[in-house]
Structure 1
Amino acid sequence: MLRESMLLMFSFNAYRYQPSDDLAVVAFSLQALVGLFMTLMVFARFLALLSSPKSMDEFDS
């Protein structure tokens, strides 16, 4: 189920890539999960680098 979900997320077609053995399934799943993790880490780092907005409250110092 995880493999099918990742295939649909990355290639929009679950039947386009059919691995020949179990090692290929593990390799594809590991590569997809590492890629997803790295994408989330880069996005989180980008959000952390954004400056915080100034307060419009005149009593907030």
Structure 2
Amino acid sequence: MKGPVRRSHRWLMMLVGGQVLFWSLSGLYMVWFDIYYIQGEHFFTWAQRDDERRHRLADRQYH
């Protein structure tokens, strides 16, 4: 009885520990880099950004 419980506990803790590690690293990434870089706005041209802002403002006004 002791063997299967320990084995399942070990695998469960590795799974939970891996998720906590991934969560911590992704949070560190979000804090370390600029939000515009994370959102991928450096891939857009200025014209595309202006169009998106206009659409967002129009949606706010009509909804």
Gaps of 5+ in 2: 51-63
Q: Which residue of 2 aligns with 1:48?
A: 30
Q: CA deviation at 1:44?
A: 1.1
The percent identity for this pair of structures is 10
| Secondary structure of 1:31's aligned partner | helix
**Structure 1 length-normalised TM:** 0.50
Matched pairs, number: 41
Q: Does 2:16 align with 1:34? A: yes
Give the counterpart letter for 2:27 in structure 1: R
**Structure 2 length-normalised TM:** 0.49
Higher-Rg member (1/2): 2
Higher helix share: 2
Gaps of 5+ in 1: 1-19
Q: Distance in 2 between matches of 1:48 and 1:21?
A: 41
